[in-house]
């Protein structure tokens, strides 16, 4: 006997036809709430495919201008820039990160000229610029020196603001980095520069393809001494709350898909925007599974992005941004 035969509850009424399903669907994630992370190279005319991230490229600023046209046409309005440093000059402190001639600093005015309304955000970290690949310099005991890193991060943020960034997003997970950067920005006259904190950023296996793209893997050790532990969600939540108190304009949970509970929890504790970083591993995993025929690429991407917004993210930083129309169209 079918149990629903005698039950007045028939949930299937609300999904009988495609039009009825559309009627009861939550709003579809908007292109305007997507942020596209991009990898900028120094120089011109350069375009390098990233083997571990199908569909993503390292681009010089002029090539990025071309690559952005179809993305902006889909309604995506925001990019997050990651820089590279080539050749000599990487050192203990990551000095090349604040170079006014650096890839990010040089790309900002080029993008601004081509797309005056584009929201240009920058990742502020040192790992792509230190000789050892950590997100700050070492102290005498071999730890990552928190306060020295904060001073350096503040200088890097100011260099990005000076180049014309609308917002800076520090990702080093140093204590006090938000206060240090806000103070430096204000002192240098960049009171309007948005400060987005990678506030609850976990030490994760999901960054592998990105580190390949950025050549930013630590040469020794790992990042568990500064990035949050997924075994200690209480402290991970405090990371976001402390950054709100230090003056962050927006918070973030990163990665997104293994941390939907934290997105929801942070969202319930703050009125700030809660961004989710749908990281490289989450993107490449779906690509790899689709290539094997285990799932449909865009349908799986769509399902995962709905999950992130359902959890309460207000914006998503995602490599899927250039595929917005294919995923949601």
> Exposed/middle/buried for 274, CB within 10 Å: 0-12, 13-18, 19+?
buried
Structure tokens at 117: 């309304």
Binding flag, residue 210, ligand PBG (CB under 6 A): yes
66 is catalytic: no
Give CA 225 to chain center in angstroms: 21
Distance, in Å, from the CA atom of 198 to the CA atom of 124, rounded to the nearest integer, reads 10
Structure tokens at 266: 């942070």
Binding flag, residue 280, ligand PBG (CB under 6 A): yes
Q: Which of 123, 134, 46, 136 is nearest to 86 (CA)?
A: 46
Q: Which is nearer to ligand PBG, 125 or 274 (CB)?
A: 125
Q: Which is nearer to ligand PBG, 189 or 221 (CB)?
A: 221
Number of residues that bind ligand PBG (CB under 6 A): 12
Neighbours of 291 (CB within 10 A): 11
SS3 content of the chain, % helix, strand, coil (to 5): 45, 15, 40
Neighbours of 125 (CB within 10 A): 29
40 φ/ψ angles, rounded to the nearest 5 degrees = -105, 140
Binding flag, residue 171, ligand PBG (CB under 6 A): yes
- Chain positions 56 to 85 lying near Zn ion, rule: CB under 5 A, are none
Binding flag, residue 207, ligand PBG (CB under 6 A): yes
By CB under 5 A, name the one of 59, 72, 127, 181 that touches Zn ion: 127
8 A C-beta contact, residue 209 and residue 50: yes
Binding flag, residue 239, ligand PBG (CB under 6 A): no
By CB under 5 A, name the one of 104, 124, 125, 157 that touches Zn ion: 125
226 φ/ψ angles, rounded to the nearest 5 degrees = -125, -35
The binding track of 71-110 with respect to ligand PBG, each residue x by CB under 6 A or -, is: ----------------------------------------
Binding flag, residue 259, ligand PBG (CB under 6 A): no
Considering the candidates 66, 192, 254, 292, report the single residue annotated as catalytic: 254
DSSP 157: H
- Chain positions 23 to 62 lying near ligand PBG, rule: CB under 6 A, are none
By CB under 6 A, name the one of 211, 238, 264, 269 that touches ligand PBG: 211
Q: Report in angstroms how near the CB of residue 299 gets to ligand PBG at its nearest.
A: 22
Distance, in Å, from the CA atom of 322 to the CA atom of 304, rounded to the nearest integer, reads 16
Side-chain-side CA neighbours of 83 within 13 Å: the count stands at: 34
- Chain positions 128 to 157 lying near ligand PBG, rule: CB under 6 A, are 135
Binding window for ligand PBG (CB under 6 A); candidates: 14-22, 105-113, 203-211, 257-265: 203-211
Three-state secondary structure call for residue 13: helix
Binding window for ligand PBG (CB under 6 A); candidates: 99-107, 123-131, 150-158, 180-188: 123-131
Q: Which residues bind ligand PBG (CB under 6 A)?
A: 123, 125, 127, 135, 171-172, 207, 210-211, 223, 279-280
Residues serving a catalytic function are 201, 254
Q: Which residues bind Zn ion (CB under 5 A)?
A: 125, 127, 135
């Amino acid at each position: 006997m079918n149990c629903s035969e005698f039950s007045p509850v028939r949930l299937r009424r609300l999904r009988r036809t495609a039009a009825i399903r559309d009627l009861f669907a939550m709003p579809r994630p908007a292109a305007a709430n997507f942020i596209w992370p991009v990898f900028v190279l120094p120089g011109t005319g350069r375009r390098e495919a990233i083997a571990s991230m199908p569909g993503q490229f390292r681009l010089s600023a002029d090539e990025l201008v071309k690559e952005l046209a179809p993305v902006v046409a889909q309604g995506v309005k925001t990019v997050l820039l990651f820089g590279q440093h080539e050749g000599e000059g990487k050192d203990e402190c990551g000095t090349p990160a604040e170079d006014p001639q650096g890839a990010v600093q040089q790309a900002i005015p080029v993008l601004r000229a081509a797309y005056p309304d584009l929201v240009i955000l920058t990742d502020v970290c040192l790992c792509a610029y230190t000789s050892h690949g950590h997100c700050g310099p070492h102290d005498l005991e071999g730890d990552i020196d928190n306060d020295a890193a904060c001073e350096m991060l503040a200088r890097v943020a100011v260099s990005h603001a000076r180049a014309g960034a609308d917002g800076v997003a520090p990702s080093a997970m140093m204590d006090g980095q938000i206060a240090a950067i806000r103070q430096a920005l204000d002192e240098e006259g960049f009171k309007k520069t948005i400060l987005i904190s990678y506030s609850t950023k976990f030490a994760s296996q999901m960054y592998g393809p990105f580190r390949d793209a950025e050549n930013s893997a630590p040469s020794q050790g790992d990042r568990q001494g500064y990035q949050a532990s997924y075994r200690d969600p209480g402290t991970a939540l405090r990371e976001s709350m402390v950054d709100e108190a230090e003056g962050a304009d927006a918070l973030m949970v990163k990665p997104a898909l293994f941390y939907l509970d934290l997105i929801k929890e942070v969202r319930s504790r703050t009125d700030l925007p809660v961004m989710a970083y749908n990281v490289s591993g989450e993107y490449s995993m779906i690509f790899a599974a689709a290539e094997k025929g285990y799932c449909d690429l865009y349908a799986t991407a769509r399902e995962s992005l709905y999950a992130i917004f359902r959890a309460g993210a207000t914006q998503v930083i995602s490599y899927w941004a250039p595929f917005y129309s294919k995923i949601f169209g």
